[in-house]
Amino acid sequence: MSMLARRRSAVPKETARVARSIYPEGNAVMYMLDVLQLAVADEDFADLFPIRGQPAESPARLALVTLLQFMEGLTDRQAADAVRTRIDWKYLLCLELTDSGFDHTVLSEFRARLLAHDAEHRVFEAVLAIARDRELLHGGGRQRSDSTNVLANVQALTRFDLVTETVRHALDALARTDPDWLCQHVTPAWVDRYALPTGELRVPRSEAKRLAWAAQIGEDGMALLIALNSPEAPADLRHLPALEALRQVWVQNFMIVRTAEGERVAWRSRDNIPRAGLFICSPHDTQARRCSKGKTVWTGYKVHLTETCDSAAPNLITNVETTAATVYDANVTPDIHAALQKRGVLPGVHVADAAYVNSALFQQSRELYQVELIGPTRSDNERQAKERNGFAASDFHIDYDNHRAVCPAGKDSIYWKPTANPFGKPIVKIRWSRHDCGQCAMHARCTSSMPPQRQITIRPQGQRELLTERREQEKHAAYASEHAWRSGIEGTISEAVRSHSVRRTRYIGQAKTHLAHLMTAAAINVGRLLRWVTGEPKAGVLPTAFQRLFTAFAGSY
């Protein structure tokens, strides 16, 4: 399809007359045009369409419909019906009363086009542009971040269910693509094993029978993969997503073992499978990952929201990151800062919880982005620091220039080695001699190793000094007052979860889920801008019924 710019720049007279007769004072949808002047142009999406071809539906209208769809939690079909029937939508879209709209499938095609051209941020950034034009959003100031879990649009499966469902999914894909080839390579027994959905299958209860069941599934899947890799198999079948999922799941859950009878497919033990960040949990969404946080266990993703929190402007979401569920929050902090810098809205102070901060990020935020990252530091996990009756690493004098350290007893270190921890972060390992530690009268307070020899691990100089500075700041009331701003983002997450169902994605894959999160954030921002522009004050914490009763009771005396 090609783009033909034909969007009206004004509301048709009859549409405006009927809308005003029904909504004399307007409503939220009409305010989006009248108050915010939220009008995107077809030219804003010109690069998404070829020059020639059948004219496409107006992308500017589709962008606004998609925004309205996420504001009101509508399906594609419901949104398409609203374009045909709702007068306030026609008013915003500048449509004639007799306009019949479009087929609902156009909306999914528009989202796919956004993703294909890396344009999923455009509507979100168009709303932020309105806030900047009104001087309600700018760099500096204070922002805060937090995350919440997102359930994937798939069923949670055990490993036995996973391999069974993976074969069933592959067989369904082959049956739709090349049924003749499939009929030549399956047996009637496969119908009994894979015809029903996984939730309706009866997996054996005993461990021995379950392992035998898994071995049979493994042999079937391997037979299918071997047949697909033969020269006689159609080449296009090997590239089906369901077959690629089968290959990956089989590598992760099975292995080839050699026995006296020959090679066979064996079930991998629990300690011989990939870590959670790589392990596929469903053939229907190979990007979803299983994660646990406290008592919460879920399969899916994680969404990270960053918003402004200055008193003199509305709280606007400035960045959205969607990651796999297993991605640690601290790994997202640099991405947040890079995205905010690109948009020109870097804060002066960024408030987050402990998961988003560490000594390296304190230093990087300050030196690279000129952002003061605020968050509680982790305590020293060494035994001596926890028990508080020995010498922790902070009790040693570190001389970075001469690559040596002095213990509390006054002995110099004999070993200094800059290296990296298992996560690739730079550290320095320092060690003292066994002779000095063995002769020291205080070695019992320093190390429990036998023979006595103390070693410590420290961070690079800049990180260590900054960490010491932050730990000292945390002792003062000013830090507690500053970090208290972080708690307000819980309200934004609650709004996204309760009003926009952000905790359960309706789409398959991280890219589509991220687009939904961006549209949800744009919808939240539009609502907040409308409330601010129309003079509605920020919502505070509502008093409970008991508080109101007590206040009234106390006032009567």
At 515, which amino acid appears?
L
Question: How far apart, in whole angstroms, are the C-alpha atoms of residue 489 and residue 320?
Answer: 13
CB 113 within 8 A of CB 57: no
Within 8 A by CB and 6+ apart from 554, the residues are none
pLDDT tens per residue across span 115-148: 999 999 999 999 999 999 999 999 999 999 999 9
> Can you tell me the mean pLDDT for 92-104?
93
Whether residue 507 is predicted with pLDDT greater than 90 in this model: the reply is yes
**SS3 for 338-361, per residue?**
HHHHHHCCCCCEEECCHHHCCHHH
pLDDT of residue 297: 93
pLDDT tens per residue across span 304-330: 999 999 888 999 999 999 999 999 999
> What b/e string do you get for 484-501 counting C-beta neighbours within 10 Å, with b at 16 or more?
ebbebbeebbebbbeebe
Whether residue 21 is predicted with pLDDT greater than 90 in this model: the reply is yes
Least confident segment among 358-367, 413-422, 545-554: 545-554
**SS3 for 464-482, per residue?**
HHHHHHHHHHCCCHHHHHH
Cis amide leading into 234 (omega within 30): no
Residue 127's CB is within 10 A of a number of other CB atoms, namely: 24
pLDDT of residue 5: 46
Least confident segment among 39-43, 95-99, 115-119, 292-296: 39-43
- Which of 308, 368, 382 has the alpha carbon at shortest distance from 337? 368
Q: What band does 345 get if pLDDT is binned at 50, 70 and 90?
A: very high
Question: How far apart, in whole angstroms, are the C-alpha atoms of residue 242 and residue 168?
Answer: 10
Percent of the chain topping pLDDT 90: 62
The count of residues in the chain is 557
Count CA atoms closer than 13 A to 179's CA, side-chain side: 2
pLDDT tens per residue across span 56-94: 688 899 999 999 999 999 999 999 999 999 999 999 999
The predicted model scores a pTM of 0.89
Question: How far apart, in whole angstroms, are the C-alpha atoms of residue 116 and residue 111?
Answer: 9
Question: How far apart, in whole angstroms, are the C-alpha atoms of residue 128 and residue 80?
Answer: 26
Residue 258 backbone class (left: φ over 0; alpha: ψ -120 to 50; beta: rest): beta
pLDDT tens per residue across span 174-200: 999 999 999 888 888 888 888 877 766
Least confident segment among 35-49, 144-158, 229-243, 358-372: 35-49
Structural domains of the chain, ranges and CATH numbers in brackets: 13-119 (no CATH), 142-147+287-377+479-533 (3.30.420.10), 159-272 (no CATH), 383-464 (no CATH)
- Which of 294, 292, 310 has the alpha carbon at shortest distance from 302? 292
Question: How far apart, in whole angstroms, are the C-alpha atoms of residue 176 and residue 507?
Answer: 22
Tokens of 529: 């801008």
- Residue listed under structure tokens 């499939």: 182
Within 8 A by CB and 6+ apart from 109, the residues are none
pLDDT tens per residue across span 382-437: 777 666 777 888 889 999 999 999 998 899 999 999 999 888 889 999 999 998 89
Q: What's the DSSP call for residue 323?
A: E
CB 166 within 8 A of CB 245: yes
CB 344 within 8 A of CB 409: no
pLDDT tens per residue across span 207-263: 788 888 888 899 999 999 999 999 888 989 989 999 999 999 999 999 988 877 778
CB 355 within 8 A of CB 361: no
Helix or strand holding residue 321 (H, E): strand 317-324
Question: How far apart, in whole angstroms, are the C-alpha atoms of residue 399 and residue 391?
Answer: 18
